[in-house]
Amino acid sequence: MAIVVQKRDYSITGPENKRAQEKGLATAEWYTSPIPRAKMKELMKRRNGPAIRDTIIWFGGLAILGYLAFLSWGTWWAIPAFLAYGILYATPGDSRWHECGHGTAFKTPWMNEVIYQIASFMVLRSATPWRWSHARHHTDTIIVGRDPEIITERPPVWRILLMQIFHLYGGPVEIKRFILHTFGKLEAQEKEYIPESQHNKTFWEARVYMLIILAIIGACVYAGSILPAMFIFLPSFFGGIVVITFGVTQHLGLYEDVLDHRLNSRTIYMNPILRFLYWNMNYHTEHHMFPMVPYHALAKLHAEMKDDCPAARPGLWAALKEVVTALRKQKHDPAYVVVKPLPSTARPYMYGIEHDLNIKVEA
Amino acid sequence: MSSGQWIEACEVDDIEVEDVIRFDHEDRTFAIYRTEKGDFFASDGYCTHEKFHLSNGLVMGNVIECPKHNGRFDIATGQAKRAPVCVDLKTYPVKIEADKVYIQI
């Protein structure tokens, strides 16, 4: 008996998009844990204080590490110094981009927008296209053919995951998009989720990005050194290791094509330093189920709904082990997923459709 | 705005201050708001971006935030205030009589 794996098309302009719509998986109603409205209102409340404090710490930390890195330039100490600077540049860059994109980090809308624009450039993501891409990711989380933010398909493409340690897969893709946008063009998949009214904004943002990049290149030529680019632009590459480490733990190894975030998202307990870098996105199931709850209230939200969820992973290492093990199994058995039992207090999982293991068994 | 019949939607006390509730009438669904100042407003129930009901959202001053993608509308005018919403929300006249909230649909 041979197992024949049907390779799926993960692009959002391919046949899987239509299939997801036909199966009722697109823009569907998702499971939500029962939380009293009064408690939910309390959790959703916006504040400026925590995000202002964290932003000061972040930029203050970048200034200190940047100065140390500058002093170390030309010595072997530059390697750990720039690595630390790069990690502090890219990791909060990613999480601040994310949370400010949702508009929940600060109470004051313009503060979200300013940090969103800065962080978008820092992590080399076009601000407007990624806002729409991420909206789709929330509408159709890990629905094949609909979600443009699935990190890797099944069977996993290890090359992509390994390249992303230094942002060498996503980085060039984004730079190619900047160039395309600068000339007033969009990729076919971007047209699928960015409304026409937002196209001009996309093009102008890309032109600003390109001007900044050209200015950095000019500064390097003028200085006769790559040092200026080591502080802006290149850190999104050499500082990418924690971004991809966090990223792979969010959904990989879990279910595709379900309508219950408890099945396709992973919550992990982390220490305060990692939670600061990640802005509490380790509570990923909670974030997806209730995206209007700001990062500073996610731990409280977790406490409210944990009896309705599978057990959180006890730490980042445990989560990574789970992901890597699952991906290795998916290499040979793409239908493999980590199945997590629910506590007796929880409501049953909502699969949404009769789960298609997507495997043909031939005699 | 509409100029149709007035429909009783709920009691005044059914909505907490700075909150929103869902009101279904025949095959239509609405969101009824009560602001911090005590004003009442009504709009279509679903967000204009995607079909998610605004009654699960967050009222902040005169703004309602969609629970799914955090798009925002002005409660009084229905004006789209923040992406991913780009299309304004349809609003309806509201009146209060004998502690009951009526909307004109």
Is residue B89 domain-resident?
yes
Chain B contact for A104 (CB, 8 A cutoff): yes
- B63, B72 in Cβ contact below 8 A? yes
What is residue A355's predicted lDDT score, i.e. its pLDDT? 55
Range of the domain at B21: 6-104
Q: What is the mean pLDDT of residues A94-111?
A: 97
The model's pLDDT over B26-76, given as tens digits with 9 standing for 90+, comes to 999 999 999 999 999 999 999 999 999 999 999 999 999 999 999 999 999
Mean pLDDT of chain A: 94
Q: What is the mean pLDDT of residues A172-201?
A: 95
User: CA-CA distance, B45 to B51, in Å (whole number)?
Assistant: 9
What is residue A352's predicted lDDT score, i.e. its pLDDT? 78
Is residue B47 domain-resident?
yes
Q: How far is CA A194 from the centre of its chain?
A: 18
CB within 8 Å: A131 and B84: yes
What is residue A279's predicted lDDT score, i.e. its pLDDT? 98
- B83, A198 in Cβ contact below 8 A? yes
Is residue B29 domain-resident?
yes
What angle in degrees, to the nearest 10, is found between the helix axes of A78-102 and A109-122?
Answer: 140
Residue closest to A128 by CA, chosen among A41, A221, A66, A205: A205
Chain A, nearest residue to B66 by Cα: A292
> What SS3 state is found at B90?
coil
Chain B contact for A132 (CB, 8 A cutoff): yes
Is residue B15 domain-resident?
yes
Chain B, nearest residue to A127 by Cα: B83
Q: What is the mean pLDDT of residues A180-202?
A: 95
Is residue B41 domain-resident?
yes
Q: What is the mean pLDDT of residues A2-18?
A: 82
- Which ipTM value was assigned to this complex? 0.87
CA distances from A264 to A122, A130, A147 (A): 28, 21, 13
Q: What is the mean pLDDT of residues A20-45?
A: 95
Chain B contact for A131 (CB, 8 A cutoff): yes
Task: Give the CATH number of the domain where residue B26 resides.
Answer: 2.102.10.10
pLDDT higher than threshold 90 for residue A22? yes
First to last CA, chain B: 8
What are the boundaries of each domain within chain A? 2-332
Please report residues of B whose CB lies closer than 8 A to that of A135.
49, 69, 84
Q: Could you give the number of structural domains in chain B?
A: 1
Chain B contact for A197 (CB, 8 A cutoff): yes
CB within 8 Å: A138 and B69: yes
The model's pLDDT over A304-339, given as tens digits with 9 standing for 90+, comes to 999 999 999 999 999 999 999 999 999 999 999 999
Find the angle CA(A333)-CA(A341)-CA(A303) to the nearest 5 degrees.
125
What is residue A167's predicted lDDT score, i.e. its pLDDT? 96
What is residue A31's predicted lDDT score, i.e. its pLDDT? 96
pLDDT higher than threshold 70 for residue B84? yes
What is residue A360's predicted lDDT score, i.e. its pLDDT? 40
Residue A257 DSSP symbol: S
Chain A, nearest residue to B81 by Cα: A109
pLDDT higher than threshold 50 for residue A363? no
Chain B contact for A195 (CB, 8 A cutoff): yes
CB within 8 Å: B69 and A139: yes
Is residue B23 domain-resident?
yes
Please report residues of A whose CB lies closer than 8 A to that of B57.
292
pLDDT higher than threshold 50 for residue A362? no
What is residue A5's predicted lDDT score, i.e. its pLDDT? 60
- Using a 10 angstrom Cβ sphere, with 0-12 exposed, 13-18 middle and 19 or more buried, the burial of residue A128 is buried
- E strand or H helix at A317: helix A316-332
CB within 8 Å: B65 and A292: yes
CB within 8 Å: B57 and A292: yes
Under the banding of pLDDT at 50, 70 and 90, the label for residue B90 is very high
Query: Which positions in chain B have a beta carbon within 8 angstroms of at least one beta carbon in chain A?
Result: 19, 49-51, 56-58, 60, 65-70, 72, 82-84, 86
Regarding beta strands B91-92 and B40-44, do their DSSP bridges make them parallel or antiparallel, or are they unpaired? antiparallel
Under the banding of pLDDT at 50, 70 and 90, the label for residue B80 is very high
DSSP for A224-255, please give it: TSSHHHHHTTTHHHHT-HHHHHHHHHHHTTS-
A vs B: CB pairs below 8 A:
43
CB within 8 Å: B86 and A138: no
pLDDT higher than threshold 80 for residue A183? yes
Mean pLDDT of chain B: 94
Residue A33, CB-side half-sphere exposure with 13 Å CA sphere: 25
Distance, in angstroms, between B58 CA and closest chain A CA?
A: 7
What is residue A359's predicted lDDT score, i.e. its pLDDT? 40
Is residue B12 domain-resident?
yes
CB within 8 Å: A135 and B67: no
- Count of residues making up chain A: 363
Is residue B1 domain-resident?
no
What is residue B4's predicted lDDT score, i.e. its pLDDT? 85
Of B58, B66, B83, the CB nearest to A131: B83
Please report residues of B whose CB lies closer than 8 A to that of A109.
82
Please report residues of B whose CB lies closer than 8 A to that of A37.
19
Chosen from A138, A292, A295, A301 to mutate, greatest number of chain B CBs within 10 A: A292
The model's pLDDT over A206-231, given as tens digits with 9 standing for 90+, comes to 999 999 999 999 999 999 999 999 99
User: CA-CA distance, B35 to B18, in Å (whole number)?
Assistant: 4
pLDDT higher than threshold 50 for residue A1? no
User: CA-CA distance, A193 to A196, in Å (whole number)?
Assistant: 9
A 10 A CB-CB count for A149 gives 17
Q: What is the mean pLDDT of residues A125-139?
A: 96
